[in-house]
Amino acid sequence: MSGGPLIVQSDKTLLLEIDHPDAQSCRMAIAPFAELERSPEHVHTYRLTPLGLWNARAAGHDAEAVVDALLKYSRYPVPHALLVDVAETMDRYGRLQLANDPAHGLVLRALDRLVLIEVAKSKKLAGMLGAKLDDDTIAVHPSERGRLKQALLKLGWPAEDLAGYVDGEAHPIELAEGGKDGGKPFTLRSYQREAVEAFWAGGSGVVVLPCGAGKTLVGAAAMAEAKATTLILVTNTVAGRQWKRELIARTSLTEEEIGEYSGERKEIRPVTIATYQVLTSRRGGAFTHLDLFGARDWGLVVYDEVHLLPAPIFRFTADLQARRRLGLTATLVREDGREGDVFSLIGPKRYDAPWKDIEQQGWIAPAQCTEVRVTLTDAERMSYATAEAEERYRMAATARTKLPVVRALVDRHPDEQVLVIGGYIDQLHQLGEYLDAPIVQGSTTNKERERLFDAFRSGEVRTLVISKVGNFSIDLPEAAVAIQVSGTFGSRQEEAQRLGRVLRPKADGRQAHFYTVVSRDTIDTEYAAHRQRFLAEQGYAYTIVDADDVLGPPLPSVD
């Protein structure tokens, strides 16, 4: 028994005890092949998946090294069967290769002829493979590259993609680290630098960083690395403008070089920012804006908030396998369970950092999460009790009892910029009146939104009530307090994204506060528990307080 920090479970999870002196070196040793699944305060959970093991193979780690790492750090004997399984799984990678043949273009080449015969017979690959060139080689149409890789992965024979990437149309892009037009000089943070390097070495993939940790900058740095025309896909127009602002400030790009492709404007420039919405809009059943992908010889495609990528974009992405793809997200948790598609089409996870680690390094604001439980009035309880099942969450989430609690919370932070986030428009209007604060919702025009956000940034408006539109990609660095009153049922990533609104580091290193107001003894509490799971797994421990403690005159400390 080595007394190491790692415990290998038979369901292929690895438990890493982080208080152990060897924990850090163990983390470095297992990170290349194991997926970090949960990182609560004491024991982090990693998982050995075929995908992770194959990625490790792709990155040059062999089975022997994986087994050695497991044996070296494992506290207890590792089951023989698991080691055998790891070795066998890794052995499946690379028996097939996708390569560029000088004469025939893209080909699928076998190092193990039997595997090629097996997959060629598979029904799932029907139509993807072309003519058989010789016993070990089959021609592949370049447009099938992504689908073929995806299908091979499902068959358990992942192909090594040696076909490389097209460079795309060159376009000079530099990071303006020295500061531009009188802007402040800056340098890439260490983890941003690592993320870009990991992405560039892997060719394509997803970078997972907490909200507020500067994902835009990672994108900008990747563009500077590619030095090519870039297509950036974002969730909405406001986020697109933020990208534009950021790119102008942080890179050598000028306003004329960046185009916006949205519902309002259709500009195609060397760097084009398009929204998911406009790409997935259809007329007469056909996607009308697909030409954008072929409009230029893009050298890099950046997907912002990749966890929200709509299904049609997945399909378009399958055709873009020869182009470098960068996915950015804070929470690679898809409520539809399509993480696997993200991996196979955009690329594997190239960089991931536990939120708490980045917080400790001071790059995101330390946050305190508090769940405030309000007790419904008897009348509210009665109407809740007799409500239809589908109405219950709305009843519980929009209870009027929450209003005074929200006001008390706002009053508690008189010097801070406060966001009040909710999912139900009626409730938001109530709140807006009650708090006398402006509202940003889906129907608010982009211009009005910009104005309100600017006012909020400048401190003119202290409290802003926002609906679901504020879930993502709004850069409001001064927001230090977020109060969530209702949400989209039990969505884990929504909770994390909302916390992300207050995580941008504050000028004076203040603490951020995230409150979620829930109704006690209702389905609201259950959803809240589910929503908090992702953050709890990232090590954010919620403190639960009673609404009476918030409302009561002398405020006791909740720490």
Partner 1 sequence: MTTSLADHLRTLPDESLAALLQLRPDLVVPVPADVSALAVRAQSRVSVARALDGLDQFTLQILDAARLTRDPDDGTTSTEAVLAMATAGPRPPAPATIRGAVHKLRALFLLYGPEHALRVVDGVDEVAPYPAGLGRPATELDARTAALCADPAKLRRTLLAAPPSARAILDRLAAGPPVGSVPPGALQAPPLGAEDSVPPDPTNGGAPTGSPVRWLVDSRLLVAVSAGTVELPREVGLLLRRDSGPLGPLRTSPPPVAAVAREAKAVDSAGAGQTMEVVRHTEALLELLSAEPAPVLRSGGIGVRDLRRLAKALALDEATTALLLEVAYAAGLAGELELSGATTTRYGADQQVLPSGGYEVWRAMSLARRWEQLARAWLLMTRQVGLVGQRDDRDRPIGALSPEAERAGAPAARRAVLAVLADLEPAVAPTPEEVLELLDWRAPRRSRGREAAHREALVEAARLGVTGLGALTSYGRLLLADVAEADERGGDDPLGLRADAEDASTAVRALDGLLPAPVDHFLVQADLTVVVPGPPDPALAGELEVVAEHESAGGASVHRVTTASVRRALDAGYSADDLHDLFRRRSRTPVPQGLTYLVDDVARKHGGLRVGSAGGYVRSDDEALLAEVLADRRLEALAFRRLAPTVLVTPYQVNRMLLALRDAGYAPVPEDASGAAVLSRPRTRRAPGRAPVGRTVDPLASPKLALPRLLGVVEQIRRGEAAARAARRAPAVVRGTAARTGPAPAHGHSDALAVLQQAVRDKALVWVGYVDAHGATASRLVRPVSIGAGYLRAEDERTEMLHTFALHRITAAVLEGS
- Our finding on whether 199 is near partner 1 (CB under 8 A) is no
**Separation CA 558–CA 549 (nearest Å):** 9
CB of 70 to partner 1, least distance (A): 10
Angle at 365 between CA 427 and CA 524, to 5 degrees: 30
Closer to partner 1 at the Cβ: 74 or 317? 74
List the one residue from 55, 74, 398, 467 that touches partner 1 (CB under 8 A): 74
Question: Interacting stretch for partner 1, rule CB under 8 A, among 8-16, 155-163, 292-300, 483-491?
Answer: 8-16
- Our finding on whether 65 is near partner 1 (CB under 8 A) is no
Closer to partner 1 at the Cβ: 79 or 362? 79
**Cβ contact 15:45 at 8 Å:** yes
- Our finding on whether 8 is near partner 1 (CB under 8 A) is yes
List the one residue from 25, 41, 100, 131 that touches partner 1 (CB under 8 A): 41
Q: How far out from the chain centre does Cα 153 lie?
A: 22
Positions in 131-150 near partner 1 (CB under 8 A): none
List the one residue from 309, 540, 547, 550 that touches partner 1 (CB under 8 A): 540
- The letter for the amino acid at 385 is A
Closer to partner 1 at the Cβ: 8 or 396? 8
CB of 85 to partner 1, least distance (A): 11
List the one residue from 25, 62, 64, 77 that touches partner 1 (CB under 8 A): 77
Closer to partner 1 at the Cβ: 15 or 65? 15
List the one residue from 279, 536, 547, 550 that touches partner 1 (CB under 8 A): 536
The single residue listed with the structure tokens 């490790």 is 56
- Our finding on whether 368 is near partner 1 (CB under 8 A) is no
**Cβ contact 156:119 at 8 Å:** no
The single residue listed with the structure tokens 């909740």 is 558
Q: How many CA atoms lie within 13 A of 256 on its CB side?
A: 0
Closer to partner 1 at the Cβ: 188 or 547? 547
Question: Which of 323-347 are b and which e, b meaning 16 or more Cβ less than 10 Å from the residue's Cβ?
Answer: bbbbbbbbbbbbeeeebebbbbbbb
Question: Which of 354-389 are b and which e, b meaning 16 or more Cβ less than 10 Å from the residue's Cβ?
Answer: bbbebbeeebbbebebbbbbbebeeebbeebeeeee
The single residue listed with the structure tokens 């536990």 is 354
CB of 8 to partner 1, least distance (A): 6
CB of 456 to partner 1, least distance (A): 31
- Our finding on whether 152 is near partner 1 (CB under 8 A) is no
- Our finding on whether 236 is near partner 1 (CB under 8 A) is no
Closest CA to 473 of 455, 500, 449, 443: 500
List the one residue from 35, 36, 42, 336 that touches partner 1 (CB under 8 A): 42
Alpha-helical (H) ranges within 264-304 are: 276-280, 291-295
- Our finding on whether 543 is near partner 1 (CB under 8 A) is yes
**Separation CA 202–CA 437 (nearest Å):** 47
Closer to partner 1 at the Cβ: 227 or 530? 530
**Number of residues lying near partner 1 (CB under 8 A):** 40
CB of 449 to partner 1, least distance (A): 35
**Separation CA 478–CA 502 (nearest Å):** 8
N residues, the chain: 559
- Our finding on whether 40 is near partner 1 (CB under 8 A) is yes
**Separation CA 538–CA 551 (nearest Å):** 30
**Separation CA 70–CA 14 (nearest Å):** 9
- Our finding on whether 48 is near partner 1 (CB under 8 A) is no
Question: Interacting stretch for partner 1, rule CB under 8 A, among 118-126, 338-346, 441-449, 530-538?
Answer: 530-538
Question: Which of 421-458 are b and which e, b meaning 16 or more Cβ less than 10 Å from the residue's Cβ?
Answer: bbbbeebbebbbebbebbbbbeebeeeebeebbeebee
Task: List contacts with partner 1 (CB under 8 A).
Answer: 1, 7-11, 13, 15, 17, 38, 40-43, 45, 71, 74-83, 520-521, 525-526, 529, 533, 536-537, 539-544
